């Protein structure tokens, strides 16, 4: 955490306000660019501004590298699938009840005078889940909440927008290293993906797709068509007559990979 904070604050190309705001994928983008990250043990958080100096600080990514970001948005079921495999960073709206949480399962219901459905303002990490709650790690220290954690209700669908911006880093085992459940790079031939043929149709309307929060869809990696949300877009997406979204720059179709995933509140 401190590695990200100090590097971003002093030298990284993204503009942010430290604890007052940034986007989680910028941290993954930094790690992808420099191919390293310090652990909290080797570079502890000190709650003050300081110059970024990583000289002599060990790289905690000894066996793997971060290759990008995978968004797992759109439904609680998709978030659960991702959380079963790895930790997932999510953006939520913090309300007063959240700030004063101590123990038990946190809910925010309109019937009880609580509403956390309007926007997002805070990043946290889903580290696991049970049948009735998400186990969420906050960044406010062990004296907050239940030892630094909060149990957020799964009975309340998309509580505080927990699944709208969910994402996790994509990882690759470094050459010559052995990673649990993975093989070394190049040990297995990649299976060729079956090409799906369909009639995309004619363009009806084109422009940047603006999402909730006045951010828009941009294509981060045209080889795999990873969609990211950014404040400025220079790529046009078109609605087609057959109901698809076409990326004009690559002439590829922007689709979703699960029937229960939808693209919410889009407009040009």
Weakest mean pLDDT among 22-36, 107-121, 188-202: 188-202
In whole numbers, what is the pLDDT of the chain averaged over residues?
76
**Mean pLDDT calculated for residue range 189-216:** 66
pLDDT for residue 200 is more than 70:
yes
Does 251 or 131 have the greater pLDDT score? 131
pLDDT band for position 10 (cuts 50, 70, 90): very low
The helix (H) or strand (E) run that includes residue 10 is helix 2-10
* This prediction's pTM: 0.60
The two beta strands, 88-92 and 245-247, are: unpaired
Q: What angle do CA 90, 164, 100 make, to 5 degrees?
A: 50
pLDDT of residue 106: 97
Sequence-distant (6+) residues with CB within 8 A of 102 are 145, 146
Cβ pair 176, 164 in contact under 8 A: no
List, for residues 43-80, the tens digit of each pLDDT value.
Answer: 776 666 666 667 788 878 878 888 888 889 989 999 99
- The first and second tokens of residue 46, run together, are 């000190």
pLDDT of residue 105: 97
Weakest mean pLDDT among 26-30, 96-100, 105-109, 114-118: 26-30
pLDDT for residue 22 is more than 70:
no
Q: What angle do CA 203, 208, 214 make, to 5 degrees?
A: 145
**Mean pLDDT calculated for residue range 252-260:** 54
Positive or negative, the Cα torsion across 168, 3, 136, 211?
Answer: negative
Residues in the chain: 268
């Amino acid at each position: 955490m401190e590695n990200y904070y100090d590097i971003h604050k002093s030298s990284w190309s993204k503009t942010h306000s430290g604890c007052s705001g940034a986007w989680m994928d910028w941290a993954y983008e930094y790690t992808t660019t420099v191919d390293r990250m310090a652990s909290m043990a080797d570079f502890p958080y000190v709650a003050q501004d300081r110059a970024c100096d990583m000289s002599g600080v060990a790289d905690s990514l000894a066996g793997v590298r971060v290759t990008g970001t995978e968004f797992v948005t759109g439904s609680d079921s998709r978030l659960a699938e991702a959380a079963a495999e790895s930790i997932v960073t999510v953006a939520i709206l913090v309300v007063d009840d959240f700030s004063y949480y101590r123990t038990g399962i946190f809910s925010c219901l309109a019937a009880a005078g609580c509403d956390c459905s309007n926007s997002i303002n805070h990043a946290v990490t889903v580290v696991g889940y049970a049948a009735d709650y998400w186990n969420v790690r906050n960044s406010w220290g062990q004296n907050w909440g239940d030892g630094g954690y909060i149990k957020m209700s799964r009975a309340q669908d998309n509580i505080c927008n927990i699944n709208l911006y969910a994402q996790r880093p994509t990882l690759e085992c470094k050459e010559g290293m052995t990673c649990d459940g993975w093989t070394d790079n190049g040990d297995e031939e990649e299976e060729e993906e079956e090409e799906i043929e369909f009639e995309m149709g004619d363009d009806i309307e084109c422009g940047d797709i603006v999402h909730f929060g006045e951010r828009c869809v941009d294509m981060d990696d045209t080889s795999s068509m990873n969609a990211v949300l950014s404040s400025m877009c220079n790529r046009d997406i078109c609605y087609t007559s057959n109901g698809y979204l076409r990326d004009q720059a690559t002439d590829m179709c922007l689709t979703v990979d699960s029937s229960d995933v939808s693209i919410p509140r889009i407009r040009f």
